[in-house]
A = this chain, B = another copy of it.
Amino acid sequence: MSITDLNFDIDRNSQTPMWLQIRDELYNCLHQEILRPGQLIPNEKTLVELFNVSIGTVRKAIGALENEGILIRKQGLGTFVFEHDANSFQFKYFHFVPRNSEETVIPNVELVSFERKKATKSEIEILNLPADNRNVFHIYNKLGFRNKFYIVDKIIISVAKFLSLTEEMYVNRNNTIYNLYQNKFNIFITDCSEKIRTVPANGETAKILGIDIDTPLLRIDRTGYTYHNEIVEIRTSYVHTSDIDYVRPHFSALGE
């Protein structure tokens, strides 16, 4: 199935601007994996014919998706579907730097445990688990720099959505976790939100990080969303901020 085989019917008299209708059509093509991660999408001239509008309108639609971080335009090459990789992880989703430094550092990640569990009530609700499969994966990782670990990460995802996931597959991925979601399970994390507070380290976390029980940690609750704001990942990070800071880079624009 190629996008160029489809027939699109843009309503020229709708309340919704044509560029937004086109943006939504493209968004749905991405959602339905008619356009896949890393893929080159049709050039602007082709889209003009496909949607039967002028090039400025197509460009405005693509520009909107580019601003959302879903498409990437490369002059001289074409427009591509965004693909999660180590680079994007570092700049978009990994927010720690060594204290008194501005550079983000690439962390080492090590699996602690990989389990399949019965979901709690809260997990069922947040992940909107289907009645016929109320199991979740719990994946614990530790992350750090230079042979020292500072972060324990607990990832919760639905078994229904990641049915064929195994510990081996998880360990042997040679890319980021979000890239695994995207390439093996057609699940694309489009954006996240986070909440932060302090908590004392519990016994398990303390042991993993080599610190005392009750050492104050940052607790970061991250919610990962895919298309149409569907929640697909709950992640809780426990962070020992002895030598590192959580960073929120320059912000200003309203919705960020």
Contact = CB atoms under 8 A, between A and B. Distances in A.
Interface stretch (A26-34, A140-148, A179-187, A239-247): A239-247
Nearest to A245: B195
A245 B241 CA distance: 17
A10 to B, nearest CB: 21
Nearest to A217: B198
Contacts of A244: 197
Contacts of A67: 67, 253
A182 to B, nearest CB: 14
Contact of A195 (B195, B246, B253): B246
Interface string A194-212: 1111111000000000000
Given A198-B216, A198-B241, A216-B198, A248 B250 contact: no
A76 interface: no
Given A191-B250, A196-B248, 8 more contacts: A91-B254, A97-B195, A190-B252, A193-B247, A198-B198, A198-B241, A221-B245, A225-B250
